[in-house]
A and B are shown apart, each in its own frame.
Chain A
Amino acid sequence: GQNIDQPTEMTATEGAIVQINCTYQTSGFNGLFWYQQHAGEAPTFLSYNVLDGLEEKGRFSSFLSRSKGYSYLLLKELQMKDSASYLCAVRAPTSGTYKYIFGTGTRLKVLA
């Protein structure tokens, strides 16, 4: 089966660092994506990992371990505007193409 797990909710303080974990079990793997989604809006792309290791992009970093089926998104110097849901998604091969499987998302609340 295909399964992606991430915590439902997290709370952190402005200026702090928060790590959002994602574990996955999929039949095939072709990349892991993180998206940010503010309430009522469309998801927007944050990061992409296909090889093991850390990808850094400004205040955001994403890590992947394919052997462990594990990824995390690290947000540094949290700002109030970072309050949003963070979606972990795996792209997996299927029938000559690929599909995207999403986790249910982690709702992050940043407190002043």
Chain B
Amino acid sequence: EAQVTQNPRYLITVTGKKLTVTCSQNMNHEYMSWYRQDPGLGLRQIYYSMNVEVTDKGDVPEGYKVSRKEKRNFPLILESPSPNQTSLYFCASTEGVSGELFFGEGSRLTVL
């Protein structure tokens, strides 16, 4: 089954404790991206990647890092989480031609 898998789905953590949200897709998509969704602000792009070892900043990259060492995986790293990073995070991928984004189920992160 074609899917994008994110982990963890839910996480409560404390300020400053490094965490990683994993994202994996099994569709051999080249393009992957991370979004955060906040009430009244919609989906905002954090980082995206066109292919292995090719990543670029989206609209709200501050406080986040990513890596793309393998085509299927695109982890999101919060080196020192802060309360303003409390949000619902989505990973998505696309083959690029049709452009339809396939989303993971979301990761709800709370930073205390």
**In whole Å, how far is A32's beta carbon from the nearest beta carbon of chain B?**
10
Q: Is the interface of A mostly helix, strand, loop or mixed?
A: strand
Cβ–Cβ contact B45 & A43, under 8 A? no
Give the complex CA separation of A44 and B100 in angstroms. Answer: 9
**In whole Å, how far is B59's beta carbon from the nearest beta carbon of chain A?**
8
Cβ–Cβ contact A45 & B104, under 8 A? no
Instruction: Name the one of A41, A102, A103 contacting B105, with C-beta atoms under 8 angstroms.
Output: A41
Give the complex CA separation of A54 and B50 in angstroms. Answer: 30
Give the complex CA separation of A86 and B47 in angstroms. Answer: 23
Contact with B along A89-102 (1 / 0, CB 8 A): 10100011111111
List chain B residues, Cβ under 8 A from A31.
99
> Knowing A87-B43, A100-B33 touch, does A43 contact B103 (C-beta < 8 A)?
yes
Measured as residues with beta carbon below 8 angstroms from the partner, the interface class of chain B is 20 to 34
**In whole Å, how far is A48's beta carbon from the nearest beta carbon of chain B?**
6
B98 within 8 A of A: yes
Contact with A along B43-73 (1 / 0, CB 8 A): 1110010100000101000000000000000
A85 closest partner in B (C-beta): B42
Instruction: Name the one of B31, B98, B103 contacting A42, with C-beta atoms under 8 angstroms.
Output: B103
Q: List 18 A-B contacts (CB under 8 A).
A: A30-B99, A35-B101, A40-B106, A41-B106, A42-B103, A44-B103, A48-B98, A48-B100, A89-B101, A97-B31, A97-B48, A98-B99, A99-B33, A100-B101, A102-B35, A102-B42, A102-B43, A104-B40
Q: What residues make up the interface of B, taking CB atoms closer than 8 Å to A?
A: 31, 33, 35, 40-45, 48, 50, 56, 58, 90, 98-106
A-B CB proximity, top 10 nearest: A104-B42, A42-B103, A102-B43, A45-B100, A97-B50, A102-B42, A31-B99, A43-B103, A42-B105, A91-B99
